[in-house]
Chain A
Amino acid sequence: MKTKKDCVAMLLAGGEGRRLGILTKDVAKPAVPFGGKYRIIDFSLSNCSNSGIYTVGVLTQYQPLVLNSHIGIGSPWDLDRNEGGVTILPPFVRQQGGKWYKGTANAIYQNLSFIENYDPDYVLVISGDHIYKMNYGRMIEYHQKTHSDVSIAVLEVPWEEASNFGIMQTNEEGRVVEFQEKPDEPQSNLASMGVYVFNWQILQKYLHLDENNPDSSNDFGKDVIPLMLRENLQVNAYPFKGYWKDVGTVDSFWEANMDFLSDNPPLNLYDRRWQIYTVNPNQPPHYISHRALVYDSMINEGCLVFGEVRHSILSPGVLVEEGAVIKESIIMSNVKIGKGARVEKAIIGEETWVGEGCRISSAEEGGSPSQIILAQENTVIPNYSVIKETWENISKVKGGQTAPPVK
């Protein structure tokens, strides 16, 4: 018997993130690099640690290799604990055969025994797909104060975007009366952030009920919460104010990165009271040369900059050679940008080499870029290539020379 914990967090990290295209070809969405040195999941894990929740189960399924090695034993988030700490929970085989996780609720259902170990009062269910800072402790206090069975964190979103979210309708006391998943005609603009607090006994009971319903898709938003509402449980909305972003699409991924570069970034990475933790690469300081020009950007350790970097984010270990210009782009770890190359409104995957004189931009001559270009990780883009659209296959590039581009 392990020591009882007040709260166990279950972090859903098995999502594929299909709309992120080649960014999630080999990694799960929570493991996609973000903000120069982080991965998306770092925000939720740091929130747990900063909120004093030190027992976290991470549910993985899709492409978990990078995610597993990133999380390790959880030490970057102070989650390497004698009791509790972080536990990775992949689907597994039982005596009666095993099953993949069918949905978010089923993933937790298959791991009820993990939660039972700690016999908690509350179970916090969160997702590893979102960029935000949130004190879950306050939400649990609210949950206690309102004597809720379930609390769902909600955020006011612009009305025109409301149909992209799970929308809550609440009464005056903040009790949820209706839940609609991505409604065509939203009745409210309170969007679910995918952050739930359940009383443990209630969660247990309803996960069993849901599992026994053959028509259910075993999803919290689609099945379990509506079932709880039908059964008239006390489901309350916990109003959250602050920055929260679902980086589900390439556009929102790029925007959320660029948010860090705005004059007053809505999410402050420099606040020492609520730090975002990650696996720190061991890289020397970055160097900005005599002739380099860097402004309105974020640069990480291990970079060497001889060219121009404007309104962009460089991850650790990036080389920008002389005469290269990087604009409004996100450059991931250990990328090399060759002499005189121009990269505009692009996301360049880890370890990719961009050859000399390449032009990566969707803009026509003199115009502005119409779309974001993704360049796959671990590839060599030959010298003088011209790339105007997202690039997945080396054979698609025309007009390039195949000389090794950058040393």
Chain B
Amino acid sequence: MKNNTMGVINVSSRDEFLKDLTLHRCMASVPYGCRYRLVDFMLSNMVNSGINNIAIFTLNKYRSLMDHLGSGISWDLNRKKDGLFILPPASHYPSGEYKGLLQILQDHLDYFSRSKQKYVVISESNMVCNLNLTPAIEFHQEKGADITVFYREENGATPGLVHRQKLELNQEKRVKEFEIKPGSLNSNKALLKLFIMNKSCLLDLIDQSIQDQRCSLLWDGIINNLHYLNIYGFPLRGFLAVVNSIDCYYQHSMDLLDPQVWQELFFQPGRIYTKVKDEPPTRYIKKARVTNSLLANGCLVEGQVENSILFRGVKVRRGAYIKDSIIMQKSLIEENAVVDQAVIDKDVRVTQGRQIRGEKDEPVVVAKKMVI
């Protein structure tokens, strides 16, 4: 299935909201859901929608991302023609010099001119959803749009979308108005940073941005051009998590403990792919007591685990108690330690008898490789 569309995943956005989780990695490679990284979701969505030419634009802290993506083989993107491209900026941007995505896209104009596809899907790396993009691409084509923006109809605030611009559509689904000042628009449609564009339109926007020195795709490219371009809106339904704070990361991780969300996010409409690891099955010894939890392979459970998420290769020793927490890859919770309402990053060791407790709705975050 060829749908004449290429994909762009933007990893250049600000990531300091995730504090310790993005100390040594970019947003795209933040671990999520026991065995995935945030980027896996949009990357798999694109692949499952028949997009086989995907570029990932990074700005900094991309070592772990490159390690994760490798040749793209896990997503079937190790192709002779097209495939996966990881494109760091052509030059180093000192702080303050980086002005927006259009600036980095401009660094790699050749990539766009070499690609044969007519349409481009542009996404952020922090959207967790399982989505078939094909209906939206068809919608974009039927409407003869320059740009199609995705939106989310919200009933009640969802973490992650609270501060997003709202938008209003006319009957033809064309965008009538974008919210510019917060609260100025009474609409339940929140704008997502997921767009479908004609490649020629994108190239024009890049060109314009060099002349004007204004490089934000969303503001300078889309919102300010509302009256010059055909911009349409398309709804995104089903489970969606936009991860942009620790709180929201924590809450949306805990959402996965609902088997229905599990089923929907991991299987419908497509599979979510990630870098595979050779982990043996998870072992539960006689004294293990696990309830309402998600576990990846390679764990060893000797203690008690409740309402928690355990990544690959986590060890929970005898008498240890883990509750309402997220424990990342290869962390070790020793005998009689207690972890409650915490997000524990990779390779952390919580030594015997130690207690880590967060507040309700304010989980403690323990950075990578710490010994407690």
Which A residues fall within an 8 A CB radius of B? Answer: 35-37, 76, 263, 269-270, 275-278, 280, 282, 284-292, 294-301, 304, 313-314
Most buried by B among A276, A282, A290: A282
* In the complex, B339 has a CB within 8 A of chain A: no
Tell me which residues across on chain B come within 8 A of A276, comparing CB atoms.
Answer: 278, 280
Additional A-B contacts beyond A289-B259, A295-B289, A298-B280 (16; CB < 8 A): A35-B281, A275-B278, A277-B278, A280-B278, A282-B74, A284-B265, A285-B33, A285-B294, A286-B282, A287-B259, A288-B291, A289-B291, A295-B286, A295-B288, A299-B281, A301-B297
Q: Is the CB of B278 within 8 A of A76?
A: yes
Q: Are A298 and B282 in contact (CB under 8 A)?
A: yes
B370 within 8 A of A: no
Interface residues on B, range: 35 or more
10 nearest A-B pairs in the assembled complex, by CB-CB distance? A285-B34, A269-B280, A284-B266, A280-B276, A298-B281, A36-B281, A285-B294, A285-B296, A296-B286, A300-B281
Whether a CB of chain A sits under 8 angstroms from the CB of B80 is no
Q: Are A299 and B295 also in contact (CB < 8 A) when A36-B281, A280-B277, A280-B278 are?
A: yes
* Interface flags, B295-315, vs A, CB<8A=1, else 0: 111101000000001100000
Contact yes or no, A288 B277, CB < 8 A: no
Q: Which of B74, B278, B284, B294 contacts A287 (CB 8 A)?
A: B294
Contact A296 B296 (CB under 8 A): no
A contact residues around B298 at 8 Å (CB)? 270
State whether A282 touches B292 (Cβ < 8 A): no
* A278, A286, A289: most-surrounded residue (chain B CB, <10 A): A286
- B273 on interface, CB distance cutoff 8 Å: yes
Report how far A269 CA is from B310 CA in the complex, Å.
19
Q: Of the candidates B272, B273, B295, which one forms a contact with A286 in the assembled complex, judged by CB atoms under 8 Å apart?
A: B295
| Min CB–CB distance B271 → chain A (angstroms) | 6
Identify which of residues 29-53 in chain B touch chain A, using a CB-to-CB cut-off of 8 Å: 33-35
Q: Which of B284, B290, B293, B296 contacts A301 (CB 8 A)?
A: B296
Query: Residues on B close to A: CB < 8 A?
Result: 33-35, 74, 257, 259, 262, 265-267, 271-274, 276-278, 280-298, 300, 309-310
A277 neighbours in B (Cβ, 8 Å): 278
Across the interface, do B34 and A295 meet the contact criterion of CB distance under 8 Å? Answer: no
Distance of A26 from chain B, by nearest CB (Å): 24
Q: If A284-B34, A288-B295 touch, does A304 touch B259 (CB 8 Å cutoff)? A: yes
Closest residue on chain A to residue B266 by CB atoms:
A284
Instruction: Tell me the bound Cα distance from A284 to B259 in angstroms.
Output: 11
Q: Distance (Å) between the CB of A251 and the closest chain B CB? A: 22
B273 and A282 contact, CB distance less than 8 A: yes
Nearest-neighbour CB distance to chain A for B67, whole angstroms, equals 17
Determine the chain B residues whose CB is within 8 A of the CB of A288 once the complex forms. Answer: 290-295
Q: In the complex, what's the smallest C-beta–C-beta distance from A79 to chain B, in angstroms? A: 14
Kindly provide the distance from the CB of B328 to the nearest chain A CB, expressed in whole angstroms: 12
Task: Name the residue in B257, B287, B295 with the highest tally of chain A Cβ atoms < 10 Å from its Cβ.
Answer: B295
A294 with B288, Cβ < 8 A, contacts A285-B35, A285-B296, A288-B295 known: yes
Could you say which residues of chain B place their CB within 8 Å of the CB of A282? 74, 271, 273-274, 276
Chain A residues with Cβ under 8 A from B259's Cβ? 287, 289, 304
CB of B33 within 8 A of CB of A289, answer: no
A284 and B285 contacting across the interface, CB-CB below 8 Å: no
Measured in the bound complex, the distance between the Cα atoms of B291 and A321 in whole Å is 15
